[in-house]
Amino acid sequence: MIAFVLLAITGISIWFFGGTYFKGKTILKNAGLALALSSFALLFVWFIQGDLPSQMYYVAIGIFIIGFLMLWKIKKEKSNTLKIIANQHRYWNEITKDNVYSFFKRRKKEKKDRIEIDVNRERKKIIISNRGNEYIAPSFFIELENLQLTKADNYKEVNNSILYATIFKKLKGIIEDKEITDDYDKFFGKILEDNGGYLEYFLLYVWEEYTRDINIGTSYLELLAINNTEEQLVGALNIAFLHNIIFNGSALYFAYMSFHNRIFVEDVISKVDEDEDFSED
């Protein structure tokens, strides 16, 4: 009887300390858990059958309580894993760990040894392949056609959007730190005017011009986006930051570059071979 109590205590010790101080944590924790649960099961059977000595009842009850706490701790560790990761990877103060957790909770798939997040891979492609040829995805032109920019008379209208206000607050802080200007109304007003009064172009311009030497990133900003244009802006900022074309934001970034005459088209002349047979036969 005492031997099984000692086995239960040993199993608990291996499970608790083995996952903290030793290599092969998973193996040790599982071995300790199996040992402890086996001992619990035998003690429970003896407890039900009344075969335990009277002095062992209190010990058995204590062990059962410890076993319950072990199971509760295991469940709590699993449920909090994603929340901890979300809080560690948050770079914008306006975005809380709960925002991040809720966003990915709807997309996660729990596997045996990992958590996967659903991503629509086709939706992220701007170049598609067909029979050995590469094309710009038709969805890019659809996004470009449906792009609805925000016209404003004053740069302070960024405050009408949580996303835009968050981005502008960060950009203004950077400009203040660099001591670029003392007259912010004139400074930002001129930039808005030079960008056609469009808030999206305005934010993109300030981002490109004044954050080149600063690593601020766009991590989780999409959580604040409430419509397609705002999602496009986050993607366009990401393109400007990474200098790499991705699908999300490519339509807005293309429109922005076109507005500033920064799109250069190379004329391509295709010569058809006179001997090529294009008949339907």
pLDDT band at residue 273, thresholds of 50, 70 and 90?
Answer: very low
What is the CB-side half-sphere exposure of residue 143 using CA atoms within 13 A?
A: 26
pLDDT band at residue 25, thresholds of 50, 70 and 90?
Answer: low
Question: Which tops the pLDDT comparison, 245 or 146?
Answer: 146
d(CA 160, CA 145): 24
User: Given CA atoms 242, 246, 252, 253 in this order, what sign does their dihedral have?
Assistant: positive
d(CA 89, CA 68): 33
Task: Report if pTM > 0.75.
Answer: no
Report the pLDDT averaged over residues 252-276: 68
pLDDT value at residue 94: 64
Domain residue limits, the chain: 1-76, 127-270
pLDDT value at residue 280: 43
In the structure encoding, which two tokens stand for residue 227, read together?
A: 């419509």
pLDDT value at residue 275: 47
Angle between helices 199-210 and 228-242 (to 10 degrees): 20
How many other β-carbons are positioned within 10 Å of the β-carbon of residue 43? 23
Q: Name the most confidently modeled range: 43-47, 89-93, 255-259.
A: 255-259
Strand partners, 110: 115
In tens, the pLDDT along 169-213 reads 999 999 999 889 889 999 999 999 999 999 999 999 999 998 888
Report the pLDDT averaged over residues 246-272: 74
In tens, the pLDDT along 40-56 reads 666 666 666 666 566 56
pLDDT band at residue 88, thresholds of 50, 70 and 90?
Answer: very low
Question: Which tops the pLDDT comparison, 1 or 280?
Answer: 1
pLDDT value at residue 278: 41
User: Given CA atoms 42, 48, 53, 57 in this order, what sign does their dihedral have?
Assistant: positive
Give me the chain's average pLDDT, please. Answer: 72
Question: Which residues neighbour 127 within 8 Å (Cβ) at sequence distance 6 or greater?
Answer: 134, 135, 136, 137
pLDDT value at residue 218: 77
In tens, the pLDDT along 102-160 reads 665 555 555 555 555 454 544 566 677 777 777 777 777 888 888 899 999 999 999 99
pLDDT value at residue 110: 52
d(CA 8, CA 13): 9
d(CA 147, CA 4): 71
The answer, yes or no, to whether residue 21 has pLDDT greater than 70, is no
Report the pLDDT averaged over residues 29-41: 65
